Structure 1
């Protein structure tokens, strides 16, 4: 029975007392999952790292070598194995879909815990309210960056800049109150106000002006495209406010 020689790779990566390179760890894991045995060389000082980079004419570590050929860093290694490499500038709906999925699971969990059933009217209400709270939290992580992106398309914020700073707080207050069912006289007007202005602003920017913008719905550093999902966020707030008015009549 013939035995294939083991596949071997050599990797040089930073492993210092104050810093272990995360891309080095990812490269080691990837090589092992691809069936490689490793010669794992640790660069344990800054001087040792700088000397290695100068010797091989590279700007970063880790660096992987296979069959004597330098493959490169972690992204280069993924390309070598035909794997996808994430583009940091690629637009994606994933962040906002993650928010909605998390809010839906939370709503179902609370519905089950309080009512013993997954499918309830309250579950739908909590889904919208939880979504508002999570989206507000993401905006509040960096209000300044959110404000800058928001000013690209929101009609009221363009006329009155402080509104771009107030918006996430209003969304959070309305969401929390809607979860609790308290102070409906306050939560409904807030949700109707910011939801209506937001929906009109997104519709105008995307469907009338045909502008290609990033949405600030999950924070100012997101790559979510402004469009249908952004419009849905605002329509959900309006629908929740209208429903609560109907429910309390």
Structure 2
């Protein structure tokens, strides 16, 4: 039985006392998972790194060499192995899908812990309330960037600019009150107001004006396209507000 000789790759990456390049670690891991022995060569100082870049006429590290040929950085290495490379400018619904999936699981877990079963009406209420809280949290990470993106399509914010700053605080407050089931007289009108205006704004921008823009629902650096998902966020708030006021549990939550 013959043994296939090991494939060898040379990897240059920054390993300094104050900084270990994460992309270098990713490149090393990828090479090993692809069956390569890695000649791991560290660039220990900025001077070494700058000299390496100048010698090979590259702008970044890490850099991988296979069979004497420079493959390139981490993304280039992924392409070399036929693996997908993320486009940082590509639009994606993933952030919202992951958010709603997690808040749904949180709601089911809370229902199990409090009521002894995950599938309850209260779990549905918590799902919307938890979603509002997390959406507000993402917006509040950078209110200025959120409000700037929000001004692209929200009808009220265009007329009264401070509304873009107030919105995430109002959404978070309504969400927290809905989780607790307290002060329905305050949380329901807030949710109905911001959800109603949001739904109309999104519908106008997407379905009437046919605009192709990004949604600020998960923060100001979002790559989520404005559309059905954005409309769903606002519709959920409106539905929750109406349920709290007119639903079977309205008296208990008041």
TM class, shorter-chain normalised? over 0.9
Displacement of 1:5:
1.0
What residue is the counterpart of 1:219 in the other structure?
Answer: 219
Displacement of 1:3:
1.7
Where 1:30 maps in the other structure, the secondary structure is helix
Mapping of residues 41-120 of structure 1, within 5 Å: 41-120=41-120
What residue is the counterpart of 2:250 in the other structure?
Answer: 248
Is 1:23 the counterpart of 2:26? The answer is no
Is 1:2 the counterpart of 2:2? The answer is yes
Gaps of 5+ in 1: none
What residue is the counterpart of 2:155 in the other structure?
Answer: 155
Mapping of residues 232-247 of structure 1, within 5 Å: 232-246=232-246, 247=249
Distance 1:178 1:50 in 2: 55
Structure 1 residue ranges (4+ consecutive) displaced by more than 2 angstroms after TM superposition = none
Where 2:221 maps in the other structure, the secondary structure is coil
Distance 1:11 1:248 in 2: 63
Is 1:202 the counterpart of 2:202? The answer is yes
Distance 1:2 1:106 in 2: 54
The CA RMSD measured in Å over matched residues stands at 0.6
What residue is the counterpart of 1:143 in the other structure?
Answer: 143
Q: Residues 155-184 of structure 1: CA distance to partner in whole angstroms, max 9, x if unpaired?
A: 000000000000000000000000001000
Where 1:217 maps in the other structure, the secondary structure is coil
Q: Structure 2 length normalisation: TM-score?
A: 0.97
Distance 1:45 1:173 in 2: 49
Distance 1:122 1:100 in 2: 16
Where 2:152 maps in the other structure, the secondary structure is coil
